[in-house]
Chains A and B, each alone.
Chain A
Amino acid sequence: MILDTCLLISLAIICCLFIDMVENVDDDPGDRKPSVVDSVKVEASVKVEASVKVEASCVNSDVWKLRDNEVDTAHFFSTRDTWKDKDELLGWVRRQANRAGFMVIIRRSCEGRNAMLELVCERSGEHKVPNRKVKHEAAGSRKCGCLFKVRGYVVGEDNAWKLAILNDVHNHETVSYVAGHLLAGRLMEDDKKIVHDLTNSSVKPKNILTNLKKKRKESMTNIKQVYNERHKFKKAKRGELTEMQYLISKLEENGYVYYIREKCESKTVQDIFWTHPMLVKLFNNFPTVLIMDSTYKTNLYRMPLFEIVGVTSTYLTYSVGFAFMMSEKEDNFTWVLQMLLKLLEPNSDMPKVVVTDRDTSMMNVVANVLPDSSAILCYFHVGKNVRARIITDCKVKQNVVVMDG
């Protein structure tokens, strides 16, 4: 008896739709509950009223055979509303899709007189096996051939956009929240700008993310997207140039004074010395004392960064120049100091005092290049060496150190 009523209702729907689907109804398994059919009927009729452009061919048998994991989302999209432009329509559809628990992507769109926009579920289509080997073995695909499809189109003279549902059934279950989906946390243009600005002022990614979340409460951006955007930004900034070319272009752009020494045979750069024009000016004013030392752990090539600083009359430290060197050999130091002397104007004083740590090559070079300056050793470094020696030589730790003072 139930089966009979079911069939009757189904037939009624078919009459209502004027679609030739008798065969489908005949194929229909009888275990479907009447309530489901009711809801389908209501939604289907609404759909027909709302959309003018329903293509009969698109409404296929799937509508009628809701299997276990199929979900009908028609009631989220059935509307008679019109939108002023494409973006508004897209925004509305996205919001509705978020509520329904899936994401939409643009399958096709065209501008002009017959402007249209075809939106599908992010899981539509099939996974294409790429030709080249994938990077990660644990790669997967979200594609499962979902047939959900809606289309926005322009009607009438006033260029209003309307929405037509071509297929409202997903062949997969929808989720309760969409965070982590393809487009869910996508950075908008203004978000990207924030990321770029903050990256420029060397803010850490996690702090950038916090900033974004504070700006927009509903943001679903995750840290990976921030990292990706930073990487893209940095790469775009460098462009096609190699690292060295980029460095040189930047130095030139900012009016830096720089010297480069290449290795004799090959074209590889051996040392690079640079300084700011303002610092050159300061150096010419205060050349009396120079303090030099190099430090490691500044770059990924493990080149030491050689730094020369001076003292201003206000007792502040200023940097005279920086140099990346291949190694801490006499040759390298000589070259850097010669470059440094080039910066001095002919009538200004020569550096009078040079303070270094107890590095023999450095001391020799200073004696050679700046013969009329007097060198001072860092007594802290010497004291450190002496203290180390005391421990090894005398096996006494405290009392001698105190006497040495």
Chain B
Amino acid sequence: MVESPTQELYAGNLLEFQDACKDYPKFLHYVETTILKPFKDKLVRAWTDLVLHLGCKTTNRVEGAHGVVKEYLSTSKGDLGTCWQKIDEMLANQFGEIQSSFGRSITVLEHRYKYVTLYSGLGGHMSRQAMNFIFLEEERVRKTLCIDKGTCGCVIRMSYGLPYACFIATKIRHNKPIRLDEIHPH
């Protein structure tokens, strides 16, 4: 239910859920009052995909960051000075990692993007991860051949700031490259 991609599908799933839970009114009441009513637009995919969240729908990333910090701290009994020092060491490594990823994205052009008109304007200006998203989306286009907006959903446009399927489809048909200004500056 939470994963329902559109609002109509969500309504259908909600009915199904209510039907499944009708034997447990207390639980159903809890779910409806504490979660669905107040936080529906912050939780269900139909609404969250409307904003530019870059794929972050859980706090996974920050929990992972906590894990990394704690690995560096190695003890839960240090004073603030040692805490800072360990975090400083961690930041230095993290920063190096990010810099090198930028460096790779700028210099490396993957072989699958070479000589393809669609990507000709992007090489060296976009991160490889974002290129990969476009590539996957392009594959989806070639498979489904979607042209109308209904089937494509435009999720990737909304939540990643990248060109979406039907957009790519038109581009392919006209054999034009994707322009940089059609991509979110992130």
Contacts and interface: CB of A to CB of B under 8 A. Distances in A.
A316 to B, nearest CB: 6
A385 B43 CA distance: 13
Interface string A359-398: 0000000000000001111111111011001100110100
A382 B128 CA distance: 32
B80 A243 contact: yes
Nearest to B78: A299
A274 B80 CA distance: 12
B138 to A, nearest CB: 18
Nearest to B28: A393
Most chain B CB neighbours (cut-off 10 Å) among A250, A272, A299, A352: A299
A314 B95 CA distance: 13
Interface string B24-50: 101100110001000100110000100
B31 A292 contact: no
B180 to A, nearest CB: 13
Given A202-B86, A378-B58, A305 B2 contact: no
A314 B98 contact: yes
A198 B48 CA distance: 48
A250 B55 CA distance: 36
Given A300-B77, A307-B65, A376 B98 contact: no
A293 B43 contact: no
A297 B70 contact: yes
Contacts of A227: none
Interface in A261-280: 272, 274, 276, 278-279
A318 interface: yes
A378 B59 contact: yes
B134 to A, nearest CB: 13
B74 interface: yes
Nearest to A202: B74
Nearest to A349: B185
A381 B91 contact: no
Given A288-B52, A389-B30, A247 B81 contact: yes
A352 B98 contact: no
Contacts of B126: 313
B66 A382 contact: no
A167 B111 CA distance: 86
A403 B43 contact: no
A388 B24 CA distance: 14
Given A247-B81, A353-B51, A307 B74 contact: no
B63 interface: yes
Contacts of B74: 202
Given A299-B80, A404-B1, A319 B57 contact: no
A298 interface: yes
Contacts of B65: 307, 309, 317, 319
Interface in A163-212: 202
Nearest to A254: B88
B95 A278 contact: yes
B122 interface: no
B172 interface: no
Interface of A: 202, 238, 243-244, 246-247, 250-251, 254, 272, 274, 276, 278-279, 282, 286, 288-289, 291-293, 295, 297-301, 305, 307-309, 311-319, 322, 324, 352-353, 355-358, 374-383, 385-386, 389-390, 393-394, 396, 400, 403-405
